[in-house]
Structure 1
Amino acid sequence: MRAGADHSPAVRMQAVFRGVGPGVAVSAEVLLYTPEQAAELLGVKPSWLRRKAAARAVPCTFVGKHLRFSRADLEAIVTAGEQTPRALRPRA
Structure 2
Amino acid sequence: MSVRKERCPDQLKRDDNRQRSPYPTAPAPATDKPGSGPHLPEVYTPAEAAQVLKVPESWLRKKATQQAIPCTFIGKHLRFSAADLVRIVQQGARRPVTGRAANGNE
Normalised to the residue count of structure 2, the TM-score between the two structures is 0.57
Taking the aligned partners of 1:30 and 1:36, their CA distance within structure 2 comes to 18
Within the candidate set 43, 51, 54, 2:65 is matched to 54
- Runs (4 or more) in structure 1 with deviation over 3 Å come to 22-26, 88-92
Cross-structure match for 1:66: 77
Q: Is residue 78 from structure 1 mapped to residue 55 from structure 2 by the alignment?
A: no
SS of structure 2 residue aligned to 1:62? strand
Runs of at least 5 residues in structure 1 that lack an aligned partner in the other structure: 1-21
The structure with the largest alpha-carbon Rg is 2
- Percent identical across equivalent pairs? 47
Within-5 A mapping of 1:5-24: 23=34
- Alpha-carbon RMSD: 2.7
5+ residue gaps, structure 2, are 1-32
Structure with the greater relative contact order (CA < 8 A, sep ≥ 6): 1 or 2? 2
Amino acid at match of 2:77: H
The TM-score with structure 1 as length reference comes to 0.65
Given the alignment of the two structures, is residue 45 of structure 1 paired with residue 56 of structure 2, yes or no?
A: yes
Q: What residue identity is the alignment partner of 1:40?
A: Q
Give the Å deviation of 1:25: 6.6
The letter for the 2-side match of 1:61 is T
Deviation, structure 1 residue 83: 0.6
Q: Give 1:23 shift.
A: 4.4
* Count of aligned positions: 71
